[in-house]
Each structure stands twice: as C-alpha cells, then as structure tokens.
Amino acid sequence: MAIEVSKNHTNHTLRNFITHESFGGVLLFFCVLMAMIIANSNFSVIYNEVFETYLDFKIGSFNPIHISLLHFINDVLMSFFFLMVGLEMKREVLYGELAGFKSVSFSVFGAIGGLIVPSIIYIYFNYGTGSQHGFGVAMSTDTAFALGVILLLGKRIPNVIKIFLVTLAVADDLGAISVIAIFYTASINWVFIYLALILLVVLIIFNYLDIKYISLYFAVGILLWTCFFLSGVHATVGAVLFALTIPGKSQISRHSYLGLKEAYNKLYFKTRADFAKFEGAESIEETNLIGRILHGFKDFFVGAYRNVKNFIVGKSDMQREIDMHEEHERVEILDTIAKYSKYAQNPLVRIEFILQPLNAYFIVPLFAFANAGVSIDSGLDWGIDGILLGVILGLVLGKPIGIFLFTLLSEKLKLAKRPEGLTNMHILSVGFLAGIGFTMSMFVANLAYKSPAAVDLAKISILIASLIAAILGIISLILNTKKPEEDIREV
C-alpha cells in the first residue's frame, strides 16, 4: 500500500513537472519569435540599449554591484533555473524515475552518448580554430522546448516517451553543468572556493540534522552562490550544489507525530460534538444557473436575518464566554495541526513547487527574449570557423545518433534495462527532440566565445538546429505513435 501511494505521488509530481515545462516551452517559442522580430526591426536599438543598461547599487562611494541587465538575467536570475534543475535531479534520483541503478543507467548512458557524439562532430569542424572551445554549445537539451513539442501532439504520445525524455534531459543537464564547471572557468580564486566548500559542509550538516527551516538553507545558500560568483567558477554551479543539499525526504519525530495524532483526535471529537448541535440542512442540488442564484440569495437573507436577530436579542455573558472558549479550542487545534504538518513537509518539493512556475513563466522566457534577439543582416559573418556546421550537425545528427547508439549498447552489455514499452523508434524520436538545445546551448554560447560575432552566429545556428530537430522529432513521433482511437479499434 505504501509503495502504491509513493508511486502515485511520484507520477503526480512528474505530471506537474511535464505540465509546467510543456507550457513553458510554448511561451519560450513566442518569446524567441518576438525577440527575433524586434531585433530585426526599427526597435533593435532600443532592444539592445535596454539589456545593456547597467544596474548599480551604491553605498556612498562604494559600488559593490555594477552589472548589466543582460548579465543579471544570465548570471543571477538563471541561477534559480539551475537551482530547480538540481532539485529535479535529486528528486528523480531519490524517489522518481531515476531511482535504482538499472532504471537510471539507461537514461544516463543515453545522455552520455548525447554529450559525446555531438561534441566530436563539433570539434571535427572546428579543430585547431579559436572556436574549438565552443563544443558545449552542441551538446545541450532544452527540456521545456522538447516537452512543448510533445504537448502539441497531445494524447497520442505514450507516457513512457515523456518520462524517458524528462529523465534523459535531467541526466543531460547534469553533464552540461559539469562541462560548464570544468571547461568554461577562465581563472579560479581559491580563497572563495575554500569558503564555498566550508558553506557546503554547513549545508550538508543541516541536511544531516534534518533541519527543515528553508529560510536557514537559503541564508547559507546565498552566501554559497556569492562565493562561486566571486571565485571565477560560474555561479550556476553553486546553485546546483545548493539544491543537492536541500532535504529530499519527509521525516517527523515521534514527539511531533504523537502531537499531530492527538490534535487530529481532538479535531475529530470536536467536530462530532459541533455537528450534533447543528440543524439539519436540506440537500438541494441546483442544476441550472437561475436556481443556484435564487438559492444563494435565500442563504444570504436567511443568514443576515439570523445575525441581526442575534445582535438585537443578544446573548448572556455566560453564553458569550462559552462561545469564545469553543472558538479558542478550534483555533488551538488547527494551529497545532498546521505546526506539526509543517514539520513533516518535504523542503525539496516545497521549493520546487514554488520555482517551477517562476522559471517556466518568467525567468526562462525572459532569458530567451534577452538572448534570442540576433540581427540577421549583411553584417552577420556566416563563415566564422566551423561554428554553423558544428552546431547544426552536432544537435540535429549527433544527439539522436549518440543517444540511440549508447542506449542500445548499454542494453546489449546488460548495463541498463530498457523501460517497458519503449521501442527503438521511440528512442530515435526522443533523440531528435533532444537536439532542441535552446536554453542551455544559448547559455553556454555566452560563456564559450569571446567574439560577439561568434556568439551571434552560434545563437543563429542554435535556432536553426532547434527548428530542424523539432520538425524531425514531430515527424518521427507521428510516424511511430498511434492515436488512442486507432488503438481502441484494433482491440
């Protein structure tokens, strides 16, 4: 019974994740479209000036914060996105679809293939050039966009495909974050790294002691993020490490459990006693709008009459004292239940629940709008090294080939177990969708290239590759899935 409840909770959480990410993907598409239209219109100057505006925070002559709006979005706001990514990774590994070596290994091997093969293709076209360092652009998957494409196809897509895509993307994100930490750090200030490690140990101790105060975690987490920001290692890595220290399970002490049980018993007997005093109400089910409106007016006037009558007639001092005492008991019981229930809540799920809509509907679309505005004119240099071919072929061909080959190889070597109902063509279809690399690829592009012209070309290449990958993914899914009605007729 406990296993069934846990599985239902996991599926519900995964459905919430898919819903948020899917609608976020649709919103992302419109933000990208708007950014491209504005950047190639007469408003392009205003667009660039807005995001190049500097944010300053001065205390007298001391100016600790001097950062452009674009960098604020990419470095600060996107840390909340990476915090959510880290929370999703931990949740999936602890009690989600990635729990257990056999379950996690199939997606992990696929993600590894989806990282290695595109990188090889990109390096092949850029070997020995100044753009060779940008291989990370061609190896990242945008989960929101990919799930947005699946959303367009509706119920014909089996859940096993959606789950495989989500788990693959989570493992892929972990690989991309590792690449950012290792390959896109120019110089390291070890003093801040040591301070960050101390703060990380503090957070781990909080976790070990089962401290559930989220505000305490965030107080230390902000300091951890600041240390990474000042160390030279990208601050988003600090956000992911912070996420991994958030408690991922609900624990309640025996004392709290007994207190909660006692409060529920009091509530049970109190409500039974209260209901025994209440007058029986007629069970009226109004099915039409006019009937419900008339019934509402009746309740309003009857309630108003009773309140006026009680005010005029009044109650004795003893009766008022009894009413206040009963009300105090009810409030005390509900407060006790609220207090002990908060102790039992899962901090990881609580934070993720808050961050999902914030990221899906604000931070990631804002990032897309701020970064996708590339002007396509005669000034764009299409021939910078092999960026164009490396990114497009890496995402469009490298992703599906790498994912397909590595998952099949892991299954043949009995290192992983294929999810039930997932066919080879399903894997290939997901591989095409994994070539949609917008958010993470754009993020890496800002770190990988020093030349603004190279960054612009990489972004255009990412958009072209993502569009091609989306089209191939849609065609492949349509050809390899069936509508529910067709399945019913066959049965």
| Region of poorest pLDDT, from 295-304, 423-432, 457-466 | 295-304
Per residue in 186-210, pLDDT (tens digit) is 677 888 889 999 999 999 998 888 7
Residue 294 has pLDDT above 90, yes or no: no
What is the structure's pLDDT at 102?
A: 62
**pLDDT of 300 over the 90 cut:** no
Residues 235-257, mean pLDDT to the nearest whole number: 73
Residue type, 180: I
* pLDDT tens column, 456-485: 888 889 989 988 998 999 899 888 887 765
pLDDT of 151 > 60? The answer is yes
pLDDT of 487: 47
Contact 471, 400 (CB under 8 A): no
Dist CA 458 CA 436 (whole Å): 14
Rounded distance between C-alpha atoms, residue 357 and residue 363, angstroms: 9
Q: What is the mean pLDDT of residues 335-361?
A: 72
- Residue 21 has which token pair? 């990410």
| Confidence (pTM) | 0.66
* pLDDT score of 486: 47
Dig out the tokens for 304 from the structure. 């108003």
Mean pLDDT in the chain? 76
**Contact assessment for residue 199 and residue 227, using Cβ atoms and an 8 Å cutoff:** yes
Give the model's pLDDT for residue 468: 92
Q: Residue 1 above 50 pLDDT?
A: no
User: Residue 141 above 90 pLDDT?
Assistant: no
What are the CA-CA distances from residue 447 to residues 31, 133, 143, 183, 335 (Å)?
22, 10, 20, 10, 50
- Please write the tens of the pLDDT for every residue from 33-47: 888 888 888 888 888
Stretch 50-59: mean pLDDT: 77
Q: Which pLDDT score is estimated for 8?
A: 54
Query: Which one has a higher pLDDT value, 316 or 284?
Result: 316
CATH pick for 4-185+234-250+345-480 out of 1.20.1530.10, 3.90.1150.10, 3.30.590.20, 3.50.50.60 = 1.20.1530.10
Length of the chain: 491
Q: Which residues contact 457 (CB under 8 A, 6 or more apart)?
A: 380, 381, 382, 384, 387, 388
The number of beta carbons lying within 10 Å of the beta carbon of residue 491 is 4
Q: Which of 251-260, 317-326, 418-427 has the highest mean pLDDT?
A: 418-427
- Which range scores top for mean pLDDT: 161-170, 194-203, 277-286? 194-203
pLDDT of 407: 92
Region of poorest pLDDT, from 84-88, 242-246, 285-289: 285-289
Within 13 Å and on the Cβ side, how many CA atoms surround 121? Answer: 24
pLDDT tens for residues 94-117? 766 555 556 668 888 888 999 999
- pLDDT of 282 reads 47
Dump pLDDT digits (tens) for 56-81: 776 666 666 677 888 888 878 888 88
Contact partners, residue 220, CB within 8 Å, separation at least 6: 199, 202, 203, 206
Q: What angle do CA 455, 51, 66 make, to 5 degrees?
A: 100
Domain ranges for the chain: 4-185+234-250+345-480, 254-272+296-344
- Tell me the sheet residues that pair with 55: 67
CA separation for the pair 415, 102 (Å, rounded): 7
In the predicted model, is pLDDT for residue 5 greater than 50? Answer: no
